[in-house]
């Protein structure tokens, strides 16, 4: 027999488990199917474990520089095994938290791999879910409404498949108990820049390779330039506008000769971070009329697929592949199921973050995108080195850049490279949501000393009048 539920969610990542909680809060009977562990990529292979190791690397660097503050520690060493234990304990604790939330919401958790069946004796419409556990046993679940949240997996470079020892993806590197001496990172997007920043802090010899002409290609050009400058200053070798030649690359037992443009790099291993592909294979989508393009599930602005009772959210729909986006999409999908007709998510108002040193965060339009959209643009930039608080923190690199419309003064974009950028960006996000002008941001009295003073100064700089410049 098939068990019936109002809402069934496939995938227990930040998209799926948040959708499940939201549906349960509305009084629905809810089941969630997870093939690996609750928390998904974000908790086990993404946001949390990478930030835990970044924190470890940051503490190591801070300890090395502690004499500046009068704290004398003697020789400072880094123990990767210990850092891994810290990371694992942290992840396990947060996983327990999600399990608790499932229990609290009376959400039934099915452990196993889900696949979607076509019309059956249980239902005339496709969508019955078969769950196969590790022992090969299967059971059936019958959803009234189904949400697919199966996430994404690392993309490979053609001809250079992951061997998980020398050619790595970020899942592999996250579990290393010892650090390589040297690494080539292919892909200068968010994941590549974060790993480059972390590994150089841990004394690894890093070469960062990007096929395009700048790092973080989705960010404002000024941000890309600053990030490259600061990575280079810390010892990262950056190679742009070059491609990896898989055919001329040789993989040995303990090293890789990586052919990059005209050059051959001898490195211990290669991290491939060239994006992620939607995880939609073997899901039984061919048993439905759901449209899939390049593996990406096609949805409307309410996350509905071509099957009216089946929704898809998160990385598997290939929009902004971020945890908070997956969760927000999950909430919207459930609101649609509840008949609340939610306003579509405005992707321009979603903050984008890179947890490198210094951090990068942005919301809204880049200067280039604002011009392309037809705005006559004015900008204001303020560098953190003008602020007492940034100097106290010993992190005075970077800036806040505001992009606004010349005629209306409406803020169009906020871009930060600098300390605590991923926290500071929320002020920029709120300003955009409230349709604030640069003048209004400049009127807000900011606390002193604080990193957020950079907003006020950048806002004043939009009209050329910052105080501390």
> For residues 460 and 467, what is the distance between their CA atoms, to the nearest angstrom?
8
State the minimum distance, in angstroms, from the CB of residue 400 to ligand FAD. Answer: 21
- Cβ distance to ligand FAD smaller for residue 42 or 236: 42
User: At 467, is the secondary structure helix, strand, or coil?
Assistant: coil
Could you give the CA distance from residue 357 to residue 231 in angstroms, rounded to a whole number?
A: 8
| DSSP per residue, 295-340 | TEEP--TT-B-SSTTEEE-GGGGTSS--HHHHHHHHHHHHHHHTT-
Residue 223 token pair: 């941000």
Specify the length of the chain in residues: 469
Q: Tell me which residue of 2, 37, 6 sits closest to 139, measured CA to CA.
A: 2
Peptide bond into 358 cis (omega under 30): yes
Strands 30-34 and 3-10: parallel
Catalytic residue from among 252, 324, 375, 448: 448
Residue number with CB closer to ligand FAD (39 or 380): 39
* Helix or strand (DSSP H, E) at 240: strand 237-240
CA-angle at 427, arms to 421 and 429, nearest 5° = 95
Interacting residues with ligand FAD (CB under 6 A): 10-16, 33-36, 40-42, 45-47, 50, 113-114, 149-152, 170, 191, 279, 283, 314-315, 321-324, 326, 355
Q: How many CB atoms lie within 10 A of CB 419?
A: 23
Is 164 an annotated catalytic residue? no
CB of 38 to ligand FAD, least distance (A): 7
Of 63 and 140, nearer to ligand FAD (C-beta) is 140
Shortest CB 173 distance to ligand FAD, Å: 9
Q: Looking at beta carbons only, is 355 or 382 nearer to ligand FAD?
A: 355
Residue 300: alpha-carbon gap to chain centroid: 23
Q: What distances in angstroms separate CA 405 from CA 361, 369, 462, one per listed residue?
A: 20, 12, 10
Q: Which is nearer to ligand FAD, 45 or 166 (CB)?
A: 45
C-alpha to C-alpha distance for 199 and 248, rounded to whole angstroms: 26
* In the complex, minimum distance from the CB of residue 318 to ligand FAD, in angstroms, rounded to a whole number: 10
Q: Could you tell me if 289 and 307 are in contact, meaning their C-beta atoms sit under 8 angstroms apart?
A: yes
Between 13 and 180, whose beta carbon lies closer to ligand FAD?
13
Task: Please say which residue, 23 or 461, places its beta carbon nearer to ligand FAD.
Answer: 23
Nearer to ligand FAD among residue 149 and residue 431 (C-beta) = 149
Q: How far is the CB of 17 from ligand FAD (least distance, A)?
A: 8
Q: With CA atoms as reference, report the closest residue to 7 among 337, 260, 375, 262.
A: 337
Q: Dump strand ranges (E) for 11-127.
A: 30-34, 108-111, 113-116
Structure-block tokens of residue 171:
């899942």
Least separation in angstroms between residue 312's CB and ligand FAD is 9
Nearer to ligand FAD, 10 or 360 (CB): 10
- Smallest separation (angstroms) from ligand FAD to the CB of 18: 8
- Closest approach of ligand FAD to the CB of residue 191, in Å: 5
Which two three-digit tokens encode residue 338? 């509840």
Give CA–CA dist 391/131, Å, rounded.
55
Extract the tokens encoding 102.
């499932």
Min CB(308)–ligand FAD separation in Å = 21
* Interatomic CA distance for residues 47 and 415, integer angstroms: 21
Bridging pattern class, strands 269-272 and 182-186: parallel
Determine the Cα–Cα distance for residues 417 and 193; give it in Å rounded to an integer: 13
**Neighbour count for residue 391 (Cβ, 10 Å):** 13
Active site positions, annotated: 448
């Amino acid at each position: 027999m098939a068990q019936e539920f109002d809402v069934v969610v496939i995938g227990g990542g930040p998209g799926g488990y948040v959708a499940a909680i939201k549906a349960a809060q509305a009084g629905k009977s809810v089941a969630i199917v997870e093939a690996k562990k609750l928390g998904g990529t974000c908790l086990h292979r993404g946001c949390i474990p990478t930030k835990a190791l970044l924190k470890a690397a940051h503490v190591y660097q801070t300890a090395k520089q502690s004499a500046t503050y009068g704290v004398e520690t003697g020789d400072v060493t880094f123990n990767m095994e210990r850092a891994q234990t810290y990371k694992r304990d942290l992840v396990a604790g947060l996983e327990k938290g999600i399990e608790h939330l499932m229990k609290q919401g009376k959400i039934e958790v099915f452990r196993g791999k889900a696949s979607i069946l076509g019309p059956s004796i249980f239902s005339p419409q496709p969508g019955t879910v078969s769950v196969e556990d590790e022992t090969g046993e299967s059971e059936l679940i019958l959803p009234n409404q189904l949400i697919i949240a199966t996430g994404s997996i690392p993309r490979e470079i053609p001809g250079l498949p992951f061997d998980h020892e020398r050619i790595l993806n970020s899942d592999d590197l996250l579990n290393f108990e010892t650090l390589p001496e040297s690494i080539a990172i292919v892909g200068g997007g968010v994941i590549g820049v974060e790993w480059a920043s972390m590994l150089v802090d841990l004394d690894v010899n890093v070469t960062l390779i990007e096929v395009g002409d700048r790092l973080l290609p989705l960010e404002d050009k000024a941000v890309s330039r600053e990030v490259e400058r600061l990575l280079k200053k810390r010892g990262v070798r950056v190679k742009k506008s070059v491609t990896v030649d898989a055919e001329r690359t040789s993989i040995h037992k303990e090293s890789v000769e990586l052919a990059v443009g005209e050059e051959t790099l001898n490195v211990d291993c290669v991290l491939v971070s060239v994006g992620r592909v939607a995880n939609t294979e073997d899901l039984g989508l061919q048993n439905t009329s759901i449209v899939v393009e390049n593996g990406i599930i096609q949805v409307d602005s309410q996350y509905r697929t071509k099957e009216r009772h089946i929704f898809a959210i998160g990385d598997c729909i290939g929009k902004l592949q971020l945890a908070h986006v997956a969760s927000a999409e999950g909430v919207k999908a459930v609101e649609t199921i509840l008949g609340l007709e939610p306003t579509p998510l405005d992707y321009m108002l979603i903050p984008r973050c890179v947890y490198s040193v210094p951090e990068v965060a942005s919301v809204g339009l880049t200067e280039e995108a604002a011009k392309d959209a037809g705005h006559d643009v004015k900008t204001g930039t303020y560098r953190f080195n003008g602020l007492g608080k940034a100097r106290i923190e010993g992190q005075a690199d970077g800036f806040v850049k505001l992009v606004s419309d010349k005629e209306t003064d409406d803020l169009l974009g906020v871009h930060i490279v600098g300390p605590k950028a991923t926290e500071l960006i929320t002020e920029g996000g709120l300003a955009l949501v409230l349709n604030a002008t640069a003048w209004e941001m400049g009127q807000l009295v900011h606390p002193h000393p604080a990193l957020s003073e950079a907003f006020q100064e950048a806002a004043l700089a939009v009209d050329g009048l910052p105080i501390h410049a």
